Amino acid sequence: MAFHYLKYAAWLNEHQAADARSALENKGFRPVIASKAVCVPLDRRVPVGIVPPEAWRKTELCKRPLTWYWISPRAGQYLLISSEDLGPLGYPAQIRLEATSFKAPRVPDENEKRAMVSRSSYRDARPDAWENLDGEDPAKLERWMKVMGIRSMSYQDLFLTHCANHANFIEPVYFIEDPDGIVPYSIASTHFVCSACLEFFNILGSSFRRKLVAPCPGAVLFAALRPNTYLEVKTMNSEVP
């Protein structure tokens, strides 16, 4: 049985974000302004938070993965995340995140992953910085993998899964179907996926009404999400008045 978890999110421009912050403070809320990691407001202990654009550069652990934000239509926008729908304040949810008991029915093998990342849909969508591993400290990557308990593969092999997982939300190969259509899902468990915030916040996969997304290690570390517990990411409204 899935544990209870529910969050709402909406993308705002700078003016809307300033107004939302004032409105929340007038209601007695103190929004947490994300700085350490963009996923911090997803923590159940944070009633409401705002992710400013600069946070997508400051998160040291995720700096390279978060370059996806800067080439997306959301670049420069603010993200409002709350435990309650803030529609009554004039900021209805665009995204709803809820815990599920979903288990992936099928996942790719290594050859299938390579095929996924070789498609033009993925190659054309990714930022160059995402695949620039030369700028990463190999020793730091190895230490991180040991902390995660990953000892049976190289970082390059792990990175293939990272890439294929994002590719599956660009042009899905692994999905279930419901009356709304295709529902893509994460192709690996928490230890083996990266930057789940891209799917949580519709930077990737925004064209799908529903997605099923496993939290990455960063979301577990910074937002206390449960490892391997898929969140249903449901797109509600595309715009805020």
Q: What percent of the chain has pLDDT over 90?
A: 79
pLDDT value of position 1: 44
Tell me the pLDDT of the chain averaged across its residues: 92
Which pTM value belongs to this model?
0.94
186-206 pLDDT tens trace: 999 999 999 999 999 999 999
120-178 pLDDT tens trace: 999 999 999 999 888 777 787 787 787 777 877 888 889 999 999 999 999 999 999 99
Q: Is the pLDDT of residue 238 over 80?
A: no
Per residue, the 3-state secondary structure of 82-148, as one string, reads: ECCCEHHHCECCCEEEEECCCCCCCCCCHHHHHHHHHCHHHHHHCCHHHHCHHHCCHHHHHHHHHHC
Distance CA 161, CA 167 (A): 10
Distance CA 238, CA 224 (A): 27
